[in-house]
Structure 1
């Protein structure tokens, strides 16, 4: 108790008394479903009261507590149900883990090539690392899929990298394996109440030992070494990549999102795997209003997309964003309004008609879907996709924004990807919404993927004049191993000029 008290006393601004109360007793009762004197019983809803006396929990398959503080941000969410009709699986029970891995392995065998995992922060990283992540990747490999991707909604509605002062609650934390083997040695793989009791107690101890934000690993996997690509060290990657919630919350202003990311990317095992989005079925950026679908304007949308499709990470576009569908509408009001008035409204009307695709981004269309595809942001997206597809550095490259190589631009950076095995050396100079000067770059012929402009660099310097908001330049050094940027890809987009 004294060590726990000292630990939590150093965390200002948190619900100290409630957290301390939970930490006082980490010995679970024999039925495991509820901690004696710590976790409250399930909240009593009209529909049902979930408690450990229910026969369906005889094997300890579920957590039966409710949030200690009745909110989403208390760490008790790892051991509690969200609502009376949303029972929480006991993810520290090896029987539960085995069943989940078996079920989702079946989906992998059916051809599913990746999982977006919901509410990851409600599961202890220790349990994921010991019983889920590696097992699912092994199932993918066994099915012949060596490119399986799993990324999580590690929801951190906060504009700091360490969520409310806690490493264990933070997005980058989940991208790492355990650095100390003692946790695996302490884990029980039996399914008795005593085994599961042990695992939940180990999780408590792990939290106390590993939560310090000042004692977290860092990585250079996302960053160029000078201007040279280096093979990333993924040996400590957990396999659970993360939705980039900090960028997401700041995408009311692309510059803020970019500058925050480049200053904190070292805390992820490999930020090139981060999934970036502007809005989703839950939230929009913090500005102008996180509870409503993004309404920052078409030009701001285009600028955000420019960054998403050329910066490190994996772009993700919520349905309808290409026509600013339901912009400004409250995303989720539960049963309090017709679905058609919310940010989750039915979108299918916009897709009525016919599309015949002849190649990537090449198609003919008729009906309403033709109008959808002709909208300014749809055209913009199509061109961004074509540019990203043509340039390996934008897909898989590391980056630098060091002043030794880039000056004068607010969102300006160099991306590079090199693969001797595939014969690729792809170098791209990117600037979004402003001019920039790129220095100490290889001499040679550079082609702008947006306009087709050609610059022959002889003194290691290439300067881009001011281009205005939502425009961009992507000058590619035509080395080898890729084609498709010798002409004007940017083409007819009203923003890419």
Structure 2
């Protein structure tokens, strides 16, 4: 009998242990996963993530000399499928990927320059992997997929079904525009002139754009080519005014007429194809350049209807949509204009506006460039919202959907919600550190969102970093700052989103994007695949074993381990995922309380980050910390949590009738710990993490224009003539010694120099470079080769160097070309325009330093898009000009 009792006790104990494991964070998560606030998002640029099929690799038409060995189109669907286990091992439950439809532009690897919305771009696919295979693979991992879509614009090469200008030859070399893009003239069902291929590049652009938005064509004539008004024809706009809703934001982003039923019906039809495949949501690009009325009248209802029709493909889960309403501004109201602010898009209209759904209703309107189409019903209604909601902040609706009523959760009122959520640009812009983000994420601001718990929250992205980080570079404020920011992202209101590589501070401090003017491998969009080579067995989210190779090292980075622990804690506590919040009666550090209640769940949590806190007027009961397992029985409505260390936190969870506290979740690490920090060594990768596919062999592009070394008044510039044996990328490393080494232009190997042709390179010091060049030393280098070091050559402004040292000083160039007589041609630049005087009807050619011809003709004012050095040829005379 005693033996049987002991046996029963053993069996009961084992059953209890089994029950404990069954209640792990993974089980809690699966049982309480009801809407998209439960997810955490990993954002990847598909082409820059992982290469699963080398046969579809290709360069873009532009920037090829910068990207030898690193084709811009490198990652693909097959590679992403191979590395879903890595994303899941990190703890992410959803993946957001960049747009997938066919693209056409000089630099289109990112997917935002559509040429055919109805088809997937072949460069992502493999013989055995299509997009639907990726969707199915994501779902097989228990994950969700967000598809980035563009409805605001196309590229400038037409659109196959709205304005056919080219036939794409997918069997040709995709890196050669002349091979793969076959112009279509009228006899071939297109709109381009028969002599298109013989036109200069500037006139080619004019020919294309005129067919899309009625701008002057290749002959300088305006005609009603876009007779259906598929694109907006308005020419000028301001980022800070409502005319950004119908203005063209960039040369490669031709603004679609989103108020035209023929256009939005076509876009909805195309994107419904992907909803039918099972995508779980859309991230909508450039949403702030589309009127909210167009979303509320056209896109949101149609996408919601399609999502309902195909919900079985998502396992019945709700479809989620969020828009990029870019607002690089520190306060909640962008430039004090409500209808240009992200929060505005989370609401339905406050009054009824007329709307015409007839797809032929625009066909009778003739609008040449500059016309707003003011006569159409839909545009008049949009214009009315532009006026009504531009400055009237007091009239904007407010909501308490995100806030607790004391300690109590209340049912949110979504009757006025638009159904569209947003990226939290206010928090993003302020996320230089946790303190700045904390100060703007509060009740006074969040009441203007319909429900801020649905906001997507991130620190940096493929476009921007927070203000002061600085904005144009990947976040580089250090690992501890990252750890604190992530703690807030994973426990406070909103859906956390992490840009690929941030888990190891990949490319921290690198310029995020400068188009084809810098190598991708030096940018914030560099290829990541080398860091995640290897194998892994994944048991659940943030639970893996048997990792090997570089992927094992990457997953063991202190910040990566931090994200894994935060993921586990967030999954274990429903309140952290979708709870309402309050900062009231929470004294101390970054302290708050959250609660979520539904028919099966009552989850209540007290959180403090980077310091302790006292929580007053809270429910009595038993609280267990998810970080340490510490138990506190509260009987006086007050709890004090001790917490030390930046990036550490405490999450005291109340045992309720419906939901027990999970106990300690995960293991201690460098930032999140109980009594002491755990030392986690930095990764030791195998050296192949940033390897190129091939090494460049030809140091010079034979088509690269040759520019004589010149310098201008006010410039700090040096020149170097490299040996033939050196590679094509040459760097200049500049420093001086003042007890220790002070680096003038960054760590070794310094900055990339600009090729001028004939093995000659220049390095122009940025404006604001401080110091006395005569005290500096300079070392030129290329890979393993360099000029003499310790200390190097003395740096002199305007000096021309060889491997033997200074050769001569390049004299200051006179104003003009080859002559300083009063009537000689003169070139100068300001405000992103190049001005030519005294050209005497000579042909003018403008080219980039890497040989791309931007303009050829006889205009004397030529706009350019980017800063940098440009080659200017007037007749037979050549010079260069600097755009700052």
Q: SS of the counterpart of 1:259?
A: helix
Q: Which stretch of the first structure deviates more once superposed, 47-56 or 306-315? A: 47-56
Partner Cα separation in structure 1 for residue 633 and residue 649 of structure 2: 19
Equivalence for 1:207: 386
Q: Which runs of 5+ in 2 are unaligned?
A: 1-201, 215-221, 366-372, 674-884
Kept after mapping to 2: 8 A contact 1:177/1:237: yes
TM-score (norm 1): 0.86
Q: SS of the counterpart of 1:433?
A: strand
Kept after mapping to 2: 8 A contact 1:67/1:82: no
Offset at 1:451? Answer: 1.1
Query: Which of 375, 389, 406 lines up with 2:571 in the alignment?
Result: 389
Equivalence for 1:236: 416
**Residue 545 (structure 2) pairs with residue 380 (structure 1):** no
Equivalence for 1:153: 324
**Residue 662 (structure 2) pairs with residue 485 (structure 1):** yes
Offset at 1:189? Answer: 1.5
Partner Cα separation in structure 1 for residue 596 and residue 581 of structure 2: 9
Partner Cα separation in structure 2 for residue 255 and residue 322 of structure 1: 21
Equivalence for 1:469: 646
Offset at 1:480? Answer: 4.3
RMSD between superposed Cα atoms in Å: 1.7
Equivalences for residues 64-83 of structure 1 within 5 A: 64-69=233-238, 72-83=239-250
Offset at 1:46? Answer: 6.3
Equivalences for residues 302-321 of structure 1 within 5 A: 302-321=483-502
Equivalence for 2:294: 127
Q: Which stretch of the first structure deviates more once superposed, 468-477 or 97-106? A: 97-106
Partner Cα separation in structure 2 for residue 226 and residue 258 of structure 1: 20
The total of aligned residue pairs comes to 443
Equivalence for 1:32: none
Partner Cα separation in structure 2 for residue 431 and residue 96 of structure 1: 49
Query: Which of 522, 526, 550 lines up with 1:368 in the alignment?
Result: 550
Equivalence for 1:450: 627
Partner Cα separation in structure 1 for residue 480 and residue 487 of structure 2: 11
Look at both structures and tell me which one has the larger radius of gyration over its CA atoms.
Answer: 2
Kept after mapping to 2: 8 A contact 1:391/1:482: no
Shift in CA distance, 87/476, structure 1 to aligned 2, threshold 3 Å? same
Kept after mapping to 1: 8 A contact 2:654/2:660: no
Kept after mapping to 1: 8 A contact 2:245/2:290: yes
Partner Cα separation in structure 1 for residue 223 and residue 342 of structure 2: 34
Partner Cα separation in structure 2 for residue 171 and residue 85 of structure 1: 24
Partner Cα separation in structure 1 for residue 487 and residue 452 of structure 2: 18
Partner Cα separation in structure 2 for residue 54 and residue 343 of structure 1: 42
Q: SS of the counterpart of 1:115?
A: strand
Q: SS of the counterpart of 1:65?
A: coil
Q: SS of the counterpart of 1:283?
A: coil
Kept after mapping to 1: 8 A contact 2:643/2:650: no
Kept after mapping to 1: 8 A contact 2:624/2:661: no
Write the deviation string for residues 36-92 of structure 1: whole angstroms up to 9, x where unpaired: xxxxxxxx88623433266762211111223334xx334322112223332211000
Partner Cα separation in structure 1 for residue 661 and residue 223 of structure 2: 62
Offset at 1:146? Answer: 4.5
Partner Cα separation in structure 2 for residue 483 and residue 111 of structure 1: 34
TM-score (norm 2): 0.49
**Residue 459 (structure 2) pairs with residue 278 (structure 1):** yes
Which is richer in strand?
2
Query: Which of 45, 49, 61 lines up with 2:230 in the alignment?
Result: 61
Partner Cα separation in structure 2 for residue 241 and residue 104 of structure 1: 18
Query: Which of 326, 336, 357 lines up with 1:189 in the alignment?
Result: 357
Equivalence for 2:157: none
Equivalence for 1:408: 588
Q: SS of the counterpart of 1:492?
A: coil
